[in-house]
């Protein structure tokens, strides 16, 4: 009977989540850590002590019966940089970090091509146009990433025996054609290059009054400052400051159009963005008006899940949350997160995954997470001289000193 009277309360307390902490000699209400990381089968350390490996199937791990306090968490695997963060366990709660990517140490980069002056990626990210320098003039080469094949398109002397300058190169939305804007004998000429044909077909279009509208099925009826296409819908800003979706006017109050200022529309399923010089606006669908997001701004990218927007202003990187994030760390819609600041100029910025960014600063290519609990982990991935980078198909493409490189696959 006495044993029952002692054991019964203990069983009740245990069922309610209470535990006895042998270190503090106190009864506690423990919490739980849940981690999910790539690569799988990584080692998890708490306060410097090895606890478990993440599983081989999902890369996840559950560590239970932890005293409420802060823990130094380290997730390690040979060949990868360590992920480290101080995270707090609260009583009877689960603290989770389930979007952890370990960054590869010394990833392999292969030389794709030499004497490259510039490169252009197609909308579907399956094709790269390489501008290759020759002893006399230039060649345009097509590299197909899914086939790992490079083929010749055209040479400068296919256009003219005189010097030809590439002013602009634009892919069609289906990635099958290229609109070339060229400077020939101090005049601007346009050419259509059909890269899906064998051999590629080059057609002179002469002078186009509005070359940016060439790929549209029908010309725009209003005088347009800029436009964008999404799912065959055309979004455009007219000279009076009104934003249109096909024939539907979206804003109530017109935007004041500034003379001699460049405007550019970017449209996704998540948001409509407008660049006005070095200012970035977002269109508020509820208020039917533009709202300034950030100034100055130089570059921005939507995350793959379209829930976030990364933007940089030269020396700083920020993230704007376009939707409420429920997973830890939780974020509200419209919340802005400061990632980092550098004294050097930030180059291109891309989304490495939905939860990591990849960018270059000076000669270094870096990867940063967006989990701002404790600290933001920023890792040096590799280094090239004056790199220009592009992220696509799980790889980094780098142009450095006229050499064009591609990395091995870096994420699952």
> Has residue 372 been placed in a domain?
yes
Give the C-alpha separation, 88 to 26, whole Å.
19
What CATH number does residue 284 fall under?
Answer: 2.40.10
Q: Are residues 137 and 84 in the same domain?
A: no
Q: Are residues 147 and 77 in the same domain?
A: no
Q: Are residues 240 and 182 in the same domain?
A: no
What CATH number does residue 72 fall under?
Answer: 2.60.40.10
Residue 147 is predicted with a pLDDT of 87
Q: Are residues 173 and 262 in the same domain?
A: no
Residue 10 is predicted with a pLDDT of 40
What CATH number does residue 332 fall under?
Answer: 2.130.10.10
* pTM for the whole structure: 0.90
Q: Are residues 260 and 363 in the same domain?
A: no
Q: Are residues 308 and 410 in the same domain?
A: yes
> Has residue 357 been placed in a domain?
yes
Per the structure, how many domains does the chain have? 4
Question: Which sign does the torsion angle of CA 300, 234, 225, 389 carry?
Answer: positive
Q: Are residues 144 and 221 in the same domain?
A: no
Q: Which domain holds residue 63?
A: 2-101
Domain end residue (candidates: 101, 133, 151): 101
Q: Are residues 82 and 66 in the same domain?
A: yes
> Has residue 106 been placed in a domain?
no
Domain end residue (candidates: 297, 330, 360): 297
> Has residue 365 been placed in a domain?
yes
* pLDDT averaged over 10-residue windows placed end to end, the chain, 412 residues: 42 44 62 98 98 96 96 98 98 96 98 97 95 95 92 95 94 94 92 94 85 78 89 93 95 94 94 96 94 92 96 95 96 96 96 98 98 98 98 96 98 96
Q: Are residues 115 and 167 in the same domain?
A: yes
Q: Are residues 317 and 363 in the same domain?
A: yes
Domain end residue (candidates: 187, 206, 225): 206
Q: Are residues 260 and 347 in the same domain?
A: no
């Amino acid at each position: 009977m006495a044993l029952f009277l002692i054991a019964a309360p203990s069983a009740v307390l245990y069922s309610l989540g209470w535990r006895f902490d042998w270190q503090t000699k106190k009864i506690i209400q423990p919490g739980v850590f849940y981690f999910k990381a790539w690569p799988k089968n990584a080692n998890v350390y708490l306060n410097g002590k090895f606890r478990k490996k993440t599983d081989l199937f999902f890369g996840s791990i559950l560590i239970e019966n932890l005293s409420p306090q802060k823990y130094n968490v380290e997730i390690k695997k040979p060949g990868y940089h360590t992920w480290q963060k101080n995270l707090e366990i609260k009583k009877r709660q689960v603290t989770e970090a389930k979007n952890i990517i370990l960054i590869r140490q010394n990833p392999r980069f292969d030389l794709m091509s030499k004497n490259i002056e510039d490169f252009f990626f197609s909308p579907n990210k399956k094709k790269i146009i390489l501008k290759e320098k020759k002893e006399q003039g230039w060649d345009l080469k097509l590299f197909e990433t899914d086939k790992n094949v490079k083929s010749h398109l055209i040479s400068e002397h296919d256009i003219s025996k005189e010097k030809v300058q590439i002013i602009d190169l634009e892919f069609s939305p289906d990635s099958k054609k290229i609109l070339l804007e060229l400077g020939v004998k101090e005049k601007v000429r346009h050419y259509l290059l059909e890269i899906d044909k064998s051999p590629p077909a080059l057609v002179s279009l002469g002078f186009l009054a509005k070359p940016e509208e060439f790929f549209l099925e029908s010309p725009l009826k209003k005088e347009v400052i800029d436009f964008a296409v999404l799912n065959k819908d055309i979004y455009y800003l007219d000279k009076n400051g009104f934003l249109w979706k096909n024939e539907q006017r979206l804003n109530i109050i017109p935007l004041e159009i500034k003379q001699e200022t460049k405007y550019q529309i970017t449209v996704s399923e998540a948001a409509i963005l407008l660049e006005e010089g070095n200012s970035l606006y977002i269109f508020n669908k509820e208020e039917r008006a533009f709202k300034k997001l950030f100034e100055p701004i130089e570059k921005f990218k939507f995350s793959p899940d379209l829930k976030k927007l990364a933007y940089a202003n030269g020396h700083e990187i920020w993230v704007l949350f376009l939707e409420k994030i429920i997973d830890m760390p939780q974020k509200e819609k419209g919340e802005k997160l400061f990632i980092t600041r550098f004294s050097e100029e930030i180059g291109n910025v891309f989304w490495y995954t939905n939860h990591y960014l990849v960018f270059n600063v000076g000669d270094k290519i870096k990867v940063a997470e967006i989990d701002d609990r404790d600290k933001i982990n920023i890792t040096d991935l590799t280094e090239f001289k004056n790199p220009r980078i592009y992220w696509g198909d799980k790889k980094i493409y780098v142009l450095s000193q006229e050499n064009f490189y591609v990395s091995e696959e870096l994420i699952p």
